[in-house]
Structure 1
């Protein structure tokens, strides 16, 4: 086992743009607008394939099937019954992301036959006017929601927040969310799921056809009292480590995330389970077993369970782990 880099899976979106080029130094495959780059995924809608080292060309699912306990960590492999538990993406929301909500495990496994979708957003870049919908206003009931939504009337329904670079939002299942104004580039860590219930799409059409809405399912899974969990660069505690500074972004059932600001040489703890490094800024190297793996912003590396790795350079990293 060694640090794995996967080929990016780009997804065109009606709300996407070209923000990956400037914010993350990515080379986009065509002149189209892209909304997502799937970085680490075993989902059928965007499978990851190794692009470095002796495992080049193998899919993440193949690796899990062949030696999942060693790759993921025995506890994680057993807990998720041999399925890869998370999905790491970058998002470029250049236009309005549809108003949507995600189901919990209980609902999604019963209705959609896949995991629910707990997710988190780290804001890499945001325009000055960036505003998001995060939750419903107090007092909105399921009956009122359905009545107004089916009439395409969303006045005074949503809680709206302004965001800036460095903000972190934990988006629990049941929290209605969307982008409303401006543009944002996001690093998203989520459960391994592609289930989204669309509530409102700002009356847009793709090839002359409005995208499907899912109002009844959405109303089943909305937590009408759910509030967003938002932290900022200023509000988070800074923890000094040798060669780095750490901020704890979230601890949860489905994923944990730390932000690491490395300056010099930082030897990371040896995790019993896998971890993923999303490189947000800077450049440097991952060091493992006498080998060096170059890293720069926009890169993502999967670190298999139990690997002893260090990071050298001046880099900002989101570390997602279980």
Structure 2
């Protein structure tokens, strides 16, 4: 475990807030963040070891240090022996909140095989948990079943994007597994998302609704997108009603995913829940409520919108009334 000054240490990182043309003010109004300007913000990078948005510790003895620096220094103590053996010096996960109030560009992500070869970084498998959604919230998930590579290429070459995309409505509590090769985007309404993904910033933009930024249309990546799209691939959405739940102590636990790149549980705590130590690191995203995390004799007040990094082999007692997304490998 990571031990500093003789005490077990849970890490909280400074939020890296990113302006986006499709963003809003939901981080402020819904999650209680302090936004630095009056602009629209679409992303909050919560835990990141990526150069495009590095995380810096804001609590305790490591305040001001980057996740990259402490990962290099503490290695197995921080993340677990298994993680270091599998990933070496590459930290594997990236955690964000997304506040989407306009159309998110239609895009696709590459697999590890393609991204490591072409982009020299991980591919991008990601999941979305819908924290809030307007009644008209609608996403693009996949291509219509009748769209073949030939039909797709013919239409895209003509810059005709009509009739290509599968559209689905979503609501609060929905969980979506967006695998590499799945075309996705947002279409209508507003949506607040907790996103867990591989440590990658590679996105291939297919269509951006002809929007301009400073008078220039954003770059598309049609050739690379064509390389990685998986045609005829279905995307399942699990709803809060349909998922299996088990009762553990004073908590309801939902197993959202067990995957190659990450595993995720949703914890609904109303009282006290003892989360036992685990061989690898964990990340808690506080989706709602308020309460405390306790590790050894150290207590941490937590509330909606907080994110905490739990070092390997560290047990934590969660108390209060909280909705927690637990991400681990």
Partner of 1:252: 259
Whole-angstrom CA distance in 2 between matches of 1:256 and 1:197: 25
* Matched ranges for 1:22-37 at <5 A: 22-37=29-44
Runs of 4+ in 1 over 4 A off after TM superposition: none
Partner of 1:75: 82
Normalised to the residue count of structure 2, the TM-score between the two structures is: 0.97
Aligned residues: 322
Residue 286 of structure 2 contacts residue 324 of structure 2 at CA under 8 Å; is this kept in 1?
yes
Which deviates the most, 192-201 or 12-21? 12-21
Partner of 2:5: none
Give how far 1:226 is off.
1.4
Give how far 1:68 is off.
1.1
Residue 132 of structure 2 contacts residue 191 of structure 2 at CA under 8 Å; is this kept in 1?
yes
Gaps of 5+ in 2: 3-8
Q: Secondary structure at the match of 2:75?
A: helix
Q: Secondary structure at the match of 1:4?
A: coil
Residue 47 of structure 1 contacts residue 59 of structure 1 at CA under 8 Å; is this kept in 2?
yes
Partner of 2:317: 310
Residue 64 of structure 1 contacts residue 83 of structure 1 at CA under 8 Å; is this kept in 2?
no
Give how far 1:14 is off.
0.9
Give how far 1:283 is off.
0.4
Residue 146 of structure 1 contacts residue 215 of structure 1 at CA under 8 Å; is this kept in 2?
no
Whole-angstrom CA distance in 2 between matches of 1:48 and 1:173: 25
Partner of 1:151: 158
Partner of 2:47: 40
In angstroms, what is the RMSD of aligned CA positions?
0.8
Does residue 273 in structure 1 map to residue 285 in structure 2?
no
1:153-205 CA distances to partner (integer Å, 9 max, x unpaired)? 12221111100000000000000000001010000000000000000000000
Which deviates the most, 303-312 or 18-27? 18-27
Partner of 1:118: 125
Whole-angstrom CA distance in 2 between matches of 1:256 and 1:210: 37
Give how far 1:82 is off.
2.1
Gaps of 5+ in 1: none
